[in-house]
Amino acid sequence: MKPKVIIIYGAMGVGKLTVAKLLSEKTGYKLSHNHLVNDLLYSLFERNTLEINELAESIRYMVYEKAIQTGKSFILTHTYSHDYVSLTGQTDPEYLRNLQKRITSKGGEAYFIHLQADDKTLLERIAQEDRKQFKKLTDTKIMQELIDTKDFKSSAKVENQLILDSSKLTSQETVEKVFNFISNN
């Protein structure tokens, strides 16, 4: 059986990690969330530098490819803005397409889950205390600026994709929809 990789992507505060944790419990798949790599790199390098971007992309690709080669199914989270461009020049849509190519070229199956939420819900969730544990954005003023200037609604052009509005579903309902999607594709 081919390893399955579930990539849950979307704006900050949309519920990626919450859904990923519940989905990991349901499927038994390992979970590698976005901040694991970020925290390692932030301990050594300044944020928003070319070094951070180069290393983050390289580490993620290398680790994910090795996990697939060893037959592991796993879940990833990725903070996504359709118009984000890394300092390496790679856009978020390109990153997800490259990830899809790398997963499938190593024998895995890639499933993309684009979680979305209305602006009010994003602002409420950003302020939640549990976000501080992973040094996530908690400032509602910064989030409002991002909502006003970034494209969190457009989805990447990737195969095997499910788009869900997490402001209209409970976390458990979202997990059930994702699980059914993966089971039926």
Helix (H) or strand (E) holding 108: none
Any idea which residue has 């994910």 for tokens?
64
Tell me which residue range forms the domain holding 147: 4-183
Which residues sit opposite 10 in a β-bridge? 79, 115
Helix (H) or strand (E) holding 59: helix 50-69
Angstrom distance (rounded) from CA 96 to CA 159:
10
Task: Kindly report the number of other CB atoms within 10 A of residue 34's CB atom.
Answer: 22
CB crowding 103-132: b at 16 or more within 10 Å, else e: bbebebbbbbbbbbbeeebbbebbeeeebe
pLDDT of residue 180: 97
pLDDT of residue 37: 87
Angstrom distance (rounded) from CA 152 to CA 114:
10
Question: Could you give the count of Cα atoms lying within 13 Å of 98 in the half-sphere of its Cβ?
Answer: 12
Task: Find out whether 95 and 57 touch, Cβ atoms under 8 Å.
Answer: yes
pLDDT of residue 36: 84
CATH number at residue 166: 3.40.50.300
pLDDT of residue 134: 63
pLDDT of residue 132: 64
pLDDT of residue 135: 65
The domain total for the chain is 1
Given the DSSP bridges, would you call strands 74-79 and 109-116 parallel, antiparallel or unpaired?
unpaired
pLDDT of residue 125: 82
pLDDT of residue 131: 65
Phi, psi of 91 (to 5 degrees): -85, 165
What 3-state class would DSSP assign to 125?
A: helix
Which residues sit opposite 109 in a β-bridge? 4
Please report, in tens digits, the pLDDT of each residue of the chain (185 residues total). Answer: 899 999 999 998 899 999 999 999 999 999 998 888 888 898 899 888 999 999 999 999 999 999 999 999 999 999 999 999 999 999 999 999 999 999 999 999 999 999 999 999 998 888 777 666 666 677 789 889 999 999 999 999 999 999 999 999 999 999 999 999 999 98
The model's pTM: 0.93
